[in-house]
Amino acid sequence: MLELQGRTAVITGAASGIGREIARTFGAAGMQLMLADVEAEPLAETRSELEAAGHAVDSFVLDVRERDQVRELESLTRNRFGNVHLLCNNAGVGAGGPIAVDDDLALWHWAIDINLWGVIHGCKAFLPAMVEHGEPCHVVNTASMAGLGPSPLMAPYTISKYGVVALSETLSLEMQMTGASVGVSVLCPAFVRTGIAESRRNLPDDLAATAGEEHGGEQVLRTLVANGIAPSEVADAVHKAVLEDTFWILTHDEELPRVAARAQSILDNTKPSFQNFL
């Protein structure tokens, strides 16, 4: 997509962190913005900020786990702004837990439903019309470096992000196969200074009691995120990828040797090594 001015962007997880910075970046590029998030008050604050900056913006409180709500978001966006040109399936949560423990399945379902099914729901709801109207479009699915390599004690998060990478690769192939005017990117950052380590703040009341205790992976994540890069750096990378139709959005070059080592391990048929992970 080379022309962003006057086009429409939909961003989930837009109330804070990477999503908010993506909204700021594409708003500054002249796009109309539909912002969605499960946190009503931060979403309203972000919308007010962008309106004050002179951007055309609307918002919708959304739980991406709910397919009907995502469909409603799509309908509201078309009614408000017309055709959608940029879809950022960005809503996500951090969740940890060892696999050999059986007291936290509610947390697993919650994380996978948001991180993976939320992206699936977004694609299913928005892509048919994006393909049909035929104007240049782009989809950005937020995964993680955790989607390109294993992360001990963060299994539900890692599994969901592997799924987003696979979904995005498949979607890119399908768009090319059908000749659709839809580019695809998958965003795979490492640690970014966001509130993802405090994701349990958004656990629904009916799940909080059965989600299990916070595990070591979540505690480590808190420290690593605090020392991460700024969300604005990620948003700049997303902006560049949309303009240049780049598939992989990799914001942490220092993590690439780990990705290469995993690929080599597959080719060499060697098992994952904890020593190599350190």
153-206: per-residue pLDDT in tens? 889 999 999 999 999 999 999 999 999 999 999 999 998 988 776 766 777 777
Q: Which has the higher per-residue pLDDT, 167 or 150? A: 167
Residue 84 domain-assigned?
A: yes
CA pair distance 272, 119, nearest whole angstrom? 28
Residue 262 domain-assigned?
A: yes
Contact between 92 and 196 under an 8 Å Cβ cutoff? The reply is yes
Predicted confidence band at 133 (pLDDT cuts at 50, 70, 90)?
very high
Residue 2 domain-assigned?
A: no
- Assign residue 148 the CATH number of its domain: 3.40.50.720
Residue 183 domain-assigned?
A: yes
- Which domain range does residue 137 map to? 8-277
Pick from 138, 233, 239, 140: which is nearest to 190 by CA? 233
Say what the pLDDT of residue 61 is.
Answer: 97
Q: What is the bridge-based pairing of β-strands 32-37 and 8-12?
A: parallel
Phi then psi for 143, rounded to 5 degrees? -105, -125
pLDDT, tens only, 196-254 = 767 667 777 777 666 666 666 666 777 777 778 899 999 999 999 999 999 999 999 99
Q: Which has the higher per-residue pLDDT, 216 or 36? A: 36
- Indicate which residue of 60, 81, 117, 157 is catalytic: 157
Residue 268 domain-assigned?
A: yes
Residue 218 domain-assigned?
A: yes
Is 274's pLDDT higher than 80?
Answer: no
Is 162 considered catalytic here?
no
DSSP the chain: ----TT-EEEEESTTSHHHHHHHHHHHHTT-EEEEEES-HHHHHHHHHHHHHTT--EEEEE--TT-HHHHHHHHHHHHHHHSS--EEEE-------B-TT--S-HHHHHHHHIIIIIHHHHHHHHHHHHHHHH-S-EEEEEE--GGGSS--TTBHHHHHHHHHHHHHHHHHHHHHHHHT-SEEEEEE----BSSSGGGGGGG--HHHHTTS-PPPHHHHHHHHHHHTSB-HHHHHHHHHHHHHHT-SEE---GGGHHHHHHHHHHHHHT----HHHH-
Q: What is the mean pLDDT of residues 13-20?
A: 96
Give the pTM.
0.93
Residue 1 domain-assigned?
A: no
Residue 3 domain-assigned?
A: no
Say what the pLDDT of residue 208 is.
Answer: 65
Say what the pLDDT of residue 29 is.
Answer: 97
pLDDT, tens only, 53-108 = 999 999 999 999 999 999 999 999 999 999 999 999 999 998 887 888 877 788 89
Pick from 70, 55, 56, 60: which is nearest to 38 by CA? 60
Domain count, the chain: 1
Say what the pLDDT of residue 205 is.
Answer: 75
